[in-house]
Amino acid sequence: MIEIKHISKSFGDRKVIDDVSFTFEQGKTNLVIGESGSGKTTIMKLMVGLHELDAGEILYDGQNFPTLGVKDKQEVRKKIGMLFQGGALFDSQTLEENIQFPLDMFTNMSKEEKLDRVNFCLDKVQLTNRNKLYPAELSGGMKKRAALARAIANSPRYLFCDEPNSGLDPKTSIVIDNLIQSLTHEFNITTIVITHDMNSVMEIGEKILYIYQGKPWWTGNNKDILKTTNPELVDFVFASGFMKEVFAAVKNK
Amino acid sequence: MKLFFHLGRYFILIKHVFSKPEKLSVYVRQIIHEIDNIGISSLPIIAIISFFMGGVITIQSAFGFTSPLVPLYAIGYTVRESMLLEFSPTIVCLILAGKIGSNIASEIGSMRITEQIDALEIMGINSAGYLILPKIVAGVLIMPFLIALSMVLGIGGGYVMGIATGACSSYKFIYGIQAMFEPWKLYYSFTKVITFAFLITSISSYFGYYTHGGALEVGKSSTAAVVYSSILILIFNFILTQLFLT
């Protein structure tokens, strides 16, 4: 479980995150949603320590991450898996080497054990036998899946996914979403997904935090969203006229 | 003020680079990879430049030494001194600053803008150490060998051109390259090379590591890496020459 308590962050005079609190539950896909530029990715970067907090606390199973020393922070980070928006796979390494990388760094596994783990992870993301491919040889969806395989290689307790569906077609997006959700349930991971993709919200939103202009605006789950009367959230979720009509029809029923 | 900002940030980066590696075996593998990347791939350009430069020094010396008071073996002597003292350790390092420096800065810069460095950090890896230390170690280890090769090929080029153009005889040239040889000059040359290798790899890594933005900024970092490495090579060349030769 990860708790964020009253976190704030400014860049210069601009307050990007303003007093946000939320609890990301273990074994659930926790979504942070919001418009582009609302501060979603900043929250994630604050949580993993890529940005420094101005105020507040970030508790990883009770440990206040920002106040930890370098070594303790590294220990927490070893339990984090992260899927970046662009994949962030190492270009000079094959898929096998990419996925094996955290195992090389932090485990004393034998070569065979590492290869077994790599094959297991590739199998999980439906990239069986693609070990020797380089990132440049993969499609967008495959890159995301490969990055997900690397993120789960070291059996993380916390999984961060930054816009896992950006640039993907709706069908591939659903595949990635379902993968993230099934891995979350299977390995009882605390998963945080940053997204503005409404398909993802409806598909895997077990717990949702809606951020509006850097402030926590609404919390709930994918079923609650259909009943919401929050005007900003309604505007965000049902942005098109067509969707608004669908929403009205559902409400009237 | 900006100079102090960069200096401070450079030394902080170097401190991170030399902190304890997470896993030595992974670093050793990286060093071997970088030796190949930095060293072996630079062999052809160094060989070609050094050989022809040695030849040109021979021809220019022969052209300039018209007085009967200057013995012909002075051609071999001049080629050796030029190659050992300045051309191989300084000019070749300036050429390597262009080749290796831009390569390192653009590689690390691209990793920065595509979040690969963030990925390393989030995994709990000291990204500065993992990315930069192997490059510095590989550079410091392999560049003295490259420069030694450059010296040999430069003198060899001078010999071949000397014979081919009839500028001097084989005997006179070989006598010249042995004449008045002082071994401490090699110590001076290789001290310069090791210093320059450290400067090229660390400065280029610094500019790559702190790249922000997109492809345009990667290009700018690359250019800055080459420019600043070259300037610092010239400054340290002056300092080391003052220290050793006066």
Judged against a pLDDT cut of 90, whether residue B22 lies above it is answered with no
B23:A84 CB<8 A = no
Q: How far apart are CA A204 and CA A177, in angstroms?
A: 7
Q: How far apart are CA A135 and CA A94, in angstroms?
A: 7
- What does the pLDDT read at residue A253? 64
What tokens does A21 get? 């609190």
- What does the pLDDT read at residue B18? 93
- What does the pLDDT read at residue A23? 93
Among A76-85, A135-144, A218-227, B228-237, which range has the highest average pLDDT? B228-237
Q: A-chain residues within 8 Å CB-CB of B23?
A: 104-106
- What does the pLDDT read at residue B49? 95
Q: A-chain residues within 8 Å CB-CB of B126?
A: 74
Which residue among A74, A88, A104 places its CB closest to the CB of B124?
A: A74
- What does the pLDDT read at residue B167? 82
- What does the pLDDT read at residue B168? 86
Mean pLDDT computed over A223-250: 76
What tokens does B94 get? 């300036």
- What does the pLDDT read at residue B35? 94
Judged against a pLDDT cut of 80, whether residue B163 lies above it is answered with yes
Q: Which of A158, A195, A200, A198 is nearest to A179 (CA)?
A: A200
Q: Which of B127, B135, B45 is nearest to B93 (CA)?
A: B45
Give the minimum alpha-carbon distance from A148 to chain B in angstroms, rounded to a whole number. 12
- What does the pLDDT read at residue B64? 84
Q: A-chain residues within 8 Å CB-CB of B110?
A: 91
Residue A62, domain extent: 2-252
Q: How far apart are CA A31 and CA A222, in angstroms?
A: 10
Asked if residues B146 and B39 have their Cβ atoms less than 8 Å apart, the reply is yes
Judged against a pLDDT cut of 90, whether residue B28 lies above it is answered with yes
Q: How far apart are CA A18 and CA A194, in angstroms?
A: 17
Judged against a pLDDT cut of 80, whether residue A162 lies above it is answered with yes
Which residue among B26, B122, B125 places its CB closest to the CB of A48?
A: B122
Residue type, A136: A
* Least confident among A27-31, A35-39, B109-113, B169-173: A35-39
CB burial string B195-228: b at 16+ within 10 A, e below? bbbbbbbbbbbbbbbbbeeeeeebeebbebbbeb
B115:A85 CB<8 A = yes
Q: B-chain residues within 8 Å CB-CB of A160?
A: 122
3-state secondary structure of B246: coil
Mean pLDDT computed over A154-168: 87
What tokens does B135 get? 């490059």
On the CB side of A191, CA atoms within 13 Å amount to 32
A88:B110 CB<8 A = no
Mean pLDDT, chain A, rounded, equals 87
Judged against a pLDDT cut of 80, whether residue A240 lies above it is answered with no
B187 pLDDT tier (thresholds 50, 70, 90): very high
Give pTM, 2 decimals. 0.86
Residues in chain A: 253
Q: A-chain residues within 8 Å CB-CB of B124?
A: 73-78, 80, 105-106
Q: Which of A21, A33, A17 is nearest to A210 (CA)?
A: A33
CATH number of residue A132's parent domain: 3.40.50.300
Mean pLDDT computed over B133-162: 95
Residue type, A239: A
Please, which residues 33-92 of chain B have a Cβ atom closer than 8 Å to chain A?
none
* Least confident among B33-42, B216-225, B229-238: B33-42
Name, in order, each residue with C-beta under 8 angstroms of A66's C-beta and a sequence gap of 6 or more: A49, A52, A53, A57, A58
Q: How far apart are CA A9 and CA A171, in angstroms?
A: 36
- What does the pLDDT read at residue B92? 94
A80:B110 CB<8 A = no
Mean pLDDT computed over B82-107: 94
Q: How far apart are CA B18 and CA B199, in angstroms?
A: 15
Judged against a pLDDT cut of 80, whether residue A238 lies above it is answered with no
Judged against a pLDDT cut of 80, whether residue A251 lies above it is answered with no
3-state secondary structure of A8: strand
Judged against a pLDDT cut of 90, whether residue A246 lies above it is answered with no
Q: Which of B53, B116, B124, B100 is nearest to B201 (CA)?
A: B100
Q: What is the pLDDT of residues A194-217, one digit of tens each?
A: 988 888 888 888 899 999 888 888
A49:B114 CB<8 A = no
Q: What are phi and psi of B128, to 5 degrees?
A: -65, -45
Residue A25 falls in which region: left (phi positive, over 0), alpha (psi -120 to 50) or beta: beta
Residues above pLDDT 90, as percent of chain B = 77
Judged against a pLDDT cut of 80, whether residue A241 lies above it is answered with no
A80:B22 CB<8 A = no
Judged against a pLDDT cut of 80, whether residue A242 lies above it is answered with no
- What does the pLDDT read at residue A247? 67
Which whole-number Å values give the CA distances from B83 to B54, B194, B200, in the listed order?
A: 7, 17, 20
**Hey, of B116, B130, B218, which one would you mutate to test binding to chain A, going by the most A CBs within 10 A of its CB?**
B116
Judged against a pLDDT cut of 80, whether residue B1 lies above it is answered with no
Q: What residue in B sits closest to A101 (Cα-Cα)?
A: B26
Which whole-number Å values give the CA distances from A237 to A41, A95, A116, A178, A251, in the listed order?
A: 19, 36, 42, 20, 14
Give the minimum alpha-carbon distance from A43 to chain B in angstroms, rounded to a whole number. 15
**Hey, of A45, A65, A74, A110, which one would you mutate to test binding to chain B, going by the most B CBs within 10 A of its CB?**
A74
Mean pLDDT computed over B152-180: 91
Mean pLDDT, chain B, rounded, equals 92
- What does the pLDDT read at residue B52? 95
Number of folded domains that form chain A: 1
A105:B123 CB<8 A = yes
Q: What residue in B sits closest to A107 (Cα-Cα)?
A: B23
Q: What is the pLDDT of residues A119-133, one digit of tens each?
A: 998 988 888 888 899
A78 pLDDT tier (thresholds 50, 70, 90): confident
Judged against a pLDDT cut of 90, whether residue A222 lies above it is answered with no
